[in-house]
Structure formats: structure tokens, C-alpha cells
């Protein structure tokens, strides 16, 4: 599928979804839309991903695309009206539109009627299925080994770690699948429930629905965790995923050097050992699981040598092998996980 990524004024540092899609999705990204960087190329700003031109808008594409994907999410998840001409142009050209906003394109009158006229789909990734319900407590019964990424905060690389482990296991010849729980993960995997948007009573149930759907088709499921068990705002989602997925193994993710909760700086992170204990102690009454490996995001550390030292210190603190999956690869800890 040929896709254009909308990332106006935000590429690449504030376009987490666009970067995730470039790095991990199977889409053929033929252009990035960013009016501030028009004329540049993706690799001028981001390495290690397929290159593509950056253009000012849909009218500047060389060839038509199958879909326009909104690759940025402003605080609050709203729709920025300056994107309207691009979305309109995409629909009129016969392209589907994929978005992970809290604002649903399929409920926008103009887009909905235009999409019907042109026979295209508006896929609001964050709109939960209407038939989700409470968990039955059966995720532990699936055949696959379930590996869940957990963390010390939001944005510690849980999705990245889960995708990297899936890819590393697949490279080894294992039958492994990635189970997404957030908007970017869903866009990458092309399926999944947006766990942070479901009714709170259905949090575990929505995760269970995915585990049950895939759990007998693969030998390993790598489930994307969310938030942190000590997060003042998001811990509910974290625990719903832990109990809803009933993992056999946990992988603890952390940003090197981080000491307080991002955006909630009055709250200090707990000791790393405390996270290990909390996740294991909470898993135990429902389905026992151990932290078998760690993933450290060392992107803020310049030299590979210093990053390697940070990973070793982290490994000692959590009592399990660790790596930075982006810098050193997930393969390094795979023996501990499989």
C-alpha cells in the first residue's frame, strides 16, 4: 500500500506516529507532508528509515497514493483545520484516510459525505469497536507464550521494544506476532483495539479479545504495554493490559537517566527494583510472570560506549539481561525472552 504521511510543522521530532510508521510499518511511504520542510527528503532529518520526498501538500505528490495517514497528534488529539485541504484532496483522489486522533474523521460531516461520494474508507484507529465487553479471564489459556512490555513511564519505548522483539524472533525463524494497544502500534500492525480509548470497565476485556484472537495462531505474542504502574494519570490502562493479557514474561522498559514522571515532574520515579517487584507482585494473583529482560532507551546518550555502560548498569539494577533495541538490537536479549 502506497501511503503519504501528514506531519505538518512537526517532522520528525514531534511526529511520533509518522516516525513509528516509517520505521516499522509495511506501508510504502511515498511522501511526507510537512509544509515547513518542503523540498527536503526524509533522510535529511531521520536516518535508518526508507527515504522519501517531503512535500508541502497533497497537490505536490508525484503520483497518487492509496492512503493518507495522519502522522501527528496535537495535545488533546484534536483535528487542526489547516490539514483540511489535504484530507479533502486525499479523499477526492480516491485515497483512504487513516487517523489516530480523538477527533473522529468519520464523524466529520464534510469528510463523511465526501468519503461516501468517492467510495473511500476513513479509518479512525482510535474509535473502539462497539462490541467490546468485560474480560472473561481466559487469556492465560492460549497456546502462545505472551511477552508484555512494561515501563517506568509513558514513552519509554514499549511499542518499539515489542516490535523489535517480534522482528528479531521472526528473523530467528520463530512464529511471533506483535499485539498493538495504541494508535501507532495499530497503524503499524494494521489491526488492534485502542486500549486507552475503551470504556474503563472493558480495559482488560479489550486486550483479552486480541490475545484470544491471535493466541492459538502463533508461538509468541509480543504485547505493547502502555504507561506505567505508578503513573498518576495512566496506571489504570497499564494494569488493565497486565491482567488482560496475562503475560508469561515481562520486559521492563526505561529511559536512561530519567528521574521524574514526564509531564508530572512533582512525581519521582520509583527505584528500578520497585518496578520489577510491583509488576511481578501484581501479575502473580492472576497469572505469574517474571521480568526476564530490560530495554533501555539510550537515545539521549551520545557515545555507544557510554550507552553500553548505561545498559549494563540497568541490567544489574533489574537483575536481568538488557539492551537498547534501537541501538544494539533486540537479538541480544532474545534468549532470555523466548
Judged by the rule CB under 8 A, the positions of this chain that interact with a copy of itself are 134-137, 195-205, 229-240, 242-243, 246, 261, 264, 266-270, 274, 277-278, 281-282, 284-286
Q: Choose between 116 and 134: whose C-beta lies nearer to a copy of itself.
A: 134
CB of residue 178 vs a copy of itself: minimum separation in angstroms? 21
Q: Choose between 277 and 312: whose C-beta lies nearer to a copy of itself.
A: 277
Q: Choose between 203 and 323: whose C-beta lies nearer to a copy of itself.
A: 203
DSSP string covering 81-135: GGGHHHHHHHHHTT-EEEE--SS-GGG-HHHHHHHHHHT--EEETTS--TT----
- Cβ-in-10-Å burial (0-12, 13-18, 19+) of 278 comes to middle
CB of residue 203 vs a copy of itself: minimum separation in angstroms? 4
CB of residue 297 vs a copy of itself: minimum separation in angstroms? 20
- Cβ-in-10-Å burial (0-12, 13-18, 19+) of 232 comes to exposed
CB of residue 119 vs a copy of itself: minimum separation in angstroms? 31
Q: Choose between 267 and 328: whose C-beta lies nearer to a copy of itself.
A: 267
Q: Choose between 11 and 279: whose C-beta lies nearer to a copy of itself.
A: 279
Cell 505469574, residue located: 288
Q: Choose between 90 and 223: whose C-beta lies nearer to a copy of itself.
A: 223
CB of residue 8 vs a copy of itself: minimum separation in angstroms? 25
Q: What is the sign, positive or negative, of the torsion defined by CA atoms of 318, 315, 304, 309?
A: positive
- Cβ-in-10-Å burial (0-12, 13-18, 19+) of 47 comes to exposed
CB of residue 236 vs a copy of itself: minimum separation in angstroms? 3
CA distances from 68 to 3, 34, 125, 224, 315 (A): 6, 13, 13, 25, 41
Amino acid at each position: 500500500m502506497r501511503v503519504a504521511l501528514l506531519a505538518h510543522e512537526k517532522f520528525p521530532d514531534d511526529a511520533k506516529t509518522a516516525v513509528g510508521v516509517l520505521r516499522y510499518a509495511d506501508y510504502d511511504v511515498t511522501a511526507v507532508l510537512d509544509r515547513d520542510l518542503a523540498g527536503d527528503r526524509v533522510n535529511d532529518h531521520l536516518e535508518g528509515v526508507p527515504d522519501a520526498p517531503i512535500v508541502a501538500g497533497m497537490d505536490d505528490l508525484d503520483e497518487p497514493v492509496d492512503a493518507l495517514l495522519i502522522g501527528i497528534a496535537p495535545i488533546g488529539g484534536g483535528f487542526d483545520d489547516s490539514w483540511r485541504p489535504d484530507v479533502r484532496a486525499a479523499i477526492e483522489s480516491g485515497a483512504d484516510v487513516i487517523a489516530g486522533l480523538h477527533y473522529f474523521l468519520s464523524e466529520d460531516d464534510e469528510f463523511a459525505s465526501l468519503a461516501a461520494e468517492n467510495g473511500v474508507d476513513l479509518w479512525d484507529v482510535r474509535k473502539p469497536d462497539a462490541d467490546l465487553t468485560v474480560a472473561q479471564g481466559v487469556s492465560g489459556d492460549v497456546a502462545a507464550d505472551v511477552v508484555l512490555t512494561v515501563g517506568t513511564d509513558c514513552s519509554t519505548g514499549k511499542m518499539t521494544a515489542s516490535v523489535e522483539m517480534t522482528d528479531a524472533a521472526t528473523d530467528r525463524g520463530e512464529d511471533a506476532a506483535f499485539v498493538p494497544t495504541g494508535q501507532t502500534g495499530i497503524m503499524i500492525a494494521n489491526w488492534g483495539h485502542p486500549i486507552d480509548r475503551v470504556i474503563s470497565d472493558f480495559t482488560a476485556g479489550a486486550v483479552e479479545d486480541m490475545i484470544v484472537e491471535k493466541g492459538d495462531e502463533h508461538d509468541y505474542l509480543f504485547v505493547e504495554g502502555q504507561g506505567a504502574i505508578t503513573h498518576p494519570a495512566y496506571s489504570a490502562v497499564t494494569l488493565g493490559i497486565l491482567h488482560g493479557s496475562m503475560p508469561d514474561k515481562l520486559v521492563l522498559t526505561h529511559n536512561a537517566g530519567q528521574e521524574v514522571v514526564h509531564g508530572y515532574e512533582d512525581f519521582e520515579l520509583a527505584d528500578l527494583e520497585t518496578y520489577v517487584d510491583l509488576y511481578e507482585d501484581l501479575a502473580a494473583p492472576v497469572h505469574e510472570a517474571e521480568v526476564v529482560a530490560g530495554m533501555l532507551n539510550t537515545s539521549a546518550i551520545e557515545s555507544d560506549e557510554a550507552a553500553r555502560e548505561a545498559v549494563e548498569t540497568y541490567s544489574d539494577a533489574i537483575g536481568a539481561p538488557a539492551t537498547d533495541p534501537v541501538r544494539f538490537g533486540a537479538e541480544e536479549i532474545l534468549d532470555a525472552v523466548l
